[in-house]
Structure 1
Amino acid sequence: MNEPASVFRALHQGRAPADPLVLPGPWDATSARVFEDAGFPALATPSAGVAAALGYADGRTPAAEMFAAVTRIARAVSVPVSADVEAGYGLPPAELVERLLEAGVAGCNLEDSAGGVLVDPQRQADRLAEVRAAAGDRLFLNARVDTYIHGDPAAVDVVEETVARARLYAEAGADCVYPIMAPADGLPRLAGAVAVPINALGTPDGPSAVRRLGELGAARITFGPQLQRRAADAVRDLAARLLGR
């Protein structure tokens, strides 16, 4: 039987440009089952969406509660699940890997900023290398690059900084890099400069929007907390109808 990480890793390979891997983001066990039943081959939890479901602001979820929620999601479905664990909650790499494997996930996101400040890229690469060494092939490692949300365009060339970080993280053992909020027209340059798949942040507006990102170079599309927020909007509309508004 194939290990979940191997199955998940294979889903990223050999994608046609118009057919990127689409990973919806469940925030609880029920939403995870809905996405699996719809036919998605894998899922990727959003930390902000899970935080909202647990009653926390983004970035404020205690590690124990995040891992418990991710465990419930992974146990609810038979497809591979990747977990967004923000910057790793200060856990040493070996302990972080142990917690992820105990949760039953196939991969994780790790971001290169803390408290809204970018981490030194070599320091982050060293951490990613330690996570890779501890995990071996048992986890698919998606390295988030936060230059477009926390970089200073007045101080650096954001595109060059993004490419440099992405290359460094790939060399450290990342399976995929995620330049979150990178503009769509910048994806071809990023995809051409990095040897591993590119994860792009998409909008849940249908297949054509996803296909376009794939054609521009993204091999994988995630949506952050957008699906959870749309679900919350639907509940809000239902509440209004119940009140006759």
Structure 2
Amino acid sequence: MTTLFFSDYEAGETGAPLVIFGAGGLGREVLLLIRQLNASHPTWDVRGFYDDVAPATPTLAGLPYLGTSADLNATAEPLAVAVAVGSSASRAAVVSRLSSPHLSFPALVHPQVVLGPEQRIALGEGCLVQQGCILTCDISLGRFVLLNLGCTVGHDAVLEDFCSLMPHANVSGAARLAAGCYLGTNATVIQGVRVGEGSIVGAGAVVVRDLPPHVTAVGVPARALKVEDK
């Protein structure tokens, strides 16, 4: 995985074409994020939405539905893509299908989220960081990590590829979330705790000890309900 410190990213050229994969509610929220970015620094020309399941209407939030992942792979021009799929596993599956060399996946961070060079925040491609998030310092976010509204991430935390934090989830200092972890709304992982690959932490749960891979954990303190079949 290649990551760059956030300060190494440069804003794209004005009018750079971008599409959103995901024609549901999160897709419309990501469209709002992009419009908020454009209001701060005009960068993206948003062309519309793609999804492998066609929406009920031909337009969403004033933009057209453009087709499936196969249609997107057929693009003949350089095109930025925001993958707006909330499920970690589903987002990874979508990314695996988007194979065209013309596609790129910029990190999109709300303009009011503070990320300065002194914080040493590393981001992988395709990260989405929504309004109200707070990240402190020496943090690594892998590829296609989603931080929904109002999340917090403490010092030395590591969130590996395709992790998903729903609104107001909290990851404390030196915690580590393995690839594909999903934290529900208001879930908390306390300092130094590790959450195994593909595990799901339910809404409002508090993880106070390490969790193994591929479990669903709920409650305060969080306890695993089951081991999911692989």
TM-score, normalising length: structure 2: 0.31
Which of the pair has the greater relative contact order for Cα pairs under 8 Å at 6+ separation? 1
Which one has the bigger helix percentage?
1
